[in-house]
Structure 1
Amino acid sequence: MCSRIQWNSKGQPVLVGRNMDWTDWQTKMGTKLRTMPAGVEREGLVDENPLKWTSKYGSVITTVWDCATADGLNEAGLAANLLYLAEANYGERDSSLPGVSIALWVQYFLDTCATVAEAVEAAKACQVVPFQLVHMGENVNAPLHLSLSDASGDSAIIEILDGKPHIHHGPEFTVLTNSPVYDEQLVLLKQYDGLGGTKPIPGTMSAEDRFARSAYYLTRLPEQPASYQVAVAGVLSVIRNAATPFGGSDPAQPNNATTIWRTICDCTNKRYYFEFCHMPNVVWVDLDDLKLSAGASEQLFDLDADNDAAGDVSGKFKPAEPLVFQKANTPVTWTPAA
């Protein structure tokens, strides 16, 4: 489930769009927006040799289940997005490597890295350890992979396969969905018209079809849009084309699930857009208008509790207790508020 695209053209902002797809669309995964200030000491929440760091950059993030960072943008212009990957295999714990719970994986990069290149090197020096979640009635190690983007247009895809990070690094890696693994997705892509082959662009909800459709429509965006608003709207038009409608979840195919929310990261201008798919309103924040310096408290904005909010919601964030991240190898027990 989920789709991600990155678009940038000469003289245009680097824009990253993503869909979050999930089977339980009614609860919306308890999704909220939070600010994470600089200067916070964290650890990786594993039993042995936890990774330790102090946040260098503030960020705005999207949290799920009140215990994990799923998406976000930091004040250096680095964007990170978690997506579903059924083939993820975390392997055995190697305590010689500093470990980090996957609940903090996105946050670690946003806290400590300004560029994709820095994040790629950081990914090689630690081990990601999953938490457990109930999906389709089964308790599983959270099967996820990660995309990264920065203000230069650089990009990376990181998959944990056989216990090790498999990394595709370069500005050409502009699209990510789900299964199969990324190497195979790139091969499948070449069979379609406009992308190396002759087959027509597919239209189903499957991950490989969303991958091809997103890659194709990215090539159709104008290199020089008429305005900034048109550039953002163009990226929205492509990522919405990869969405799965309400009622589209297939219990037999976890890679096919309803799109419940969407973000756009403007890595150039440090603006973060968010929308719930069951609502027509888009909200955004400019990171320069948020309290992200060392010593600031975490702040929270819950669009699900403020259905009339639209446009710039920087002033709607309120002080909040620090997020309690999910420890590795423990089950998520979140339940929606009554």
Structure 2
Amino acid sequence: MCTRALWADAGGAVLAGRNMDWMEEMGTNLWAFPRGMARDDGLGKTLTWTSAYGSLVAGAHDLMTVDGINEAGLAAHQLFLPESDYGERDESRPALSVAVWMQYVLDNFATVAEAVEWIESSQLQVVTQSDPSSGKSVTLHMALDDRSGDSAIVEYLDGTPQVHHDRAYTVVTNSPPFEEQLARLRTIEGLGGSEPLPGGTDPSDRFARAAYYLTRLPQPGDTTEAVASLLSVMRNAAQPFRVADPDKPYASQTIWRTLTDLSNGIYVYESTTRPNIVWARMSGLDLSEGAPALKLDLANDTGLEGGLVGDVTDRFTEAPPMHFLPAR
């Protein structure tokens, strides 16, 4: 499931696009979390913290966050990676439930470099859990980007974090692990090899198409054109509607996509089952310490007359804080 593409020279702005591909709806809503929220690791509170940065995020079943940006301009995107191996729990290492892993990063760091330094120096451990709808283990890797255009991909293989940190790493999909994806990419015509650009829906095919078209985008004249340009790449890497195959979640249909303007703090959301695109501006949300959590109900939006469309910054409503799913 999923594709992320980072466009770091979009007419002076840094944009990140992300497709969410899955076999069923995820009850996704948008949440605005203020600074100063108390959280824990989902593992018996061996690790607790207070959020240093407010964030605007997309959730899954209101039990975990899977995509979003914080007010410092750091964004994170969690994608499916079946090869993920988080290892046996080592009590000497700090650990987080996979449901709160991304939120910890957005709560505590301002840049990709800060997040990477902590993950590597702490040897952070991630503990998996069961998906609340399918019951299968949640096995994810995470892409990070910030308003400077920096990028990193964090994968867990053989129980330890494997961090790929470079501005050149602009595209992420799924299986196989990132190093193998890069090797395959170099076989494609126009990207270092002679093989034709693939048109299939396998992760490596989507990786190649996103990388190919991303490098061929013309410079936009304004923000609207920049957003439209990157959305065209994300739609090219999207999965069409299909009958779900439980044994191949990485081949599931695209259910929604986001586009994050890291330079200007704008978060765009598009459902593939509703006709309207919506966006929110972080500058219009109260993320100050002591402010309430805010929620935008997308799961129950029909997209028809009276539905959500356009700038929805003022449509968020106060909500109890999200209760993150604890590790199993």
TM-score (norm 1): 0.92
Runs of 4+ off more than 4 Å: none
* Match runs of 1:146-165 below 5 Å: 146-165=142-161
* Partner residue, 2:31: 34
Q: Deviations over 1:183-227 (max 9, x none)?
A: 1000000111110011111011100100001000001101x2122
Q: Deviations over 1:1-45 (max 9, x none)?
A: 110000021752110000000011xxx211000111101121101
Shift of 1:250: 3.6
Shift of 1:279: 1.3
- Are the equivalent residues in 2 in contact too, given 1:248–1:256 (CA < 8 A)? no
CA distance in 2, matches of 1:192, 1:59: 38
| RMSD over equivalenced CA pairs, Å | 1.4
- The answer on 1:94 being equivalent to 2:90 is yes
Give the % identical residues.
49
* Partner residue, 1:247: 242
- The answer on 1:120 being equivalent to 2:120 is no
* Partner residue, 2:59: 63
SS in 2 for 1:121: helix
Report the AA paired with residue 313 of structure 1: V
CA distance in 2, matches of 1:133, 1:57: 27
Shift of 1:134: 6.3
CA distance in 1, matches of 2:63, 2:31: 12
* Partner residue, 2:258: 263
Shift of 1:251: 3.8
Equivalent position to 1:229, from 224, 227, 230? 224
Q: Give the total of aligned pairs.
A: 322
* Match runs of 1:145-294 below 5 Å: 145-222=141-218, 224-247=219-242, 249-294=244-289
Shift of 1:70: 0.5
CA distance in 2, matches of 1:297, 1:275: 25
Report the AA paired with residue 93 of structure 2: L
CA distance in 2, matches of 1:144, 1:235: 24
SS in 1 for 2:206: helix
| Cα distance change on mapping 1:82 and 1:157 into 2, 3 Å | same
Shift of 1:113: 0.5
CA distance in 1, matches of 2:109, 2:263: 15
Report the AA paired with residue 66 of structure 1: D
Report the AA paired with residue 305 of structure 1: N
* Partner residue, 1:325: 324
Any stretches of 5+ residues in structure 1 without a counterpart?
A: 330-338
SS in 1 for 2:39: strand
Report the AA paired with residue 15 of structure 2: L
Any stretches of 5+ residues in structure 2 without a counterpart?
A: none
Report the AA paired with residue 72 of structure 1: G
- Are the equivalent residues in 2 in contact too, given 1:50–1:100 (CA < 8 A)? no
- The answer on 1:78 being equivalent to 2:77 is no
Report the AA paired with residue 312 of structure 1: D
* Partner residue, 1:7: 7
| Cα distance change on mapping 1:228 and 1:35 into 2, 3 Å | same
Shift of 1:247: 1.4
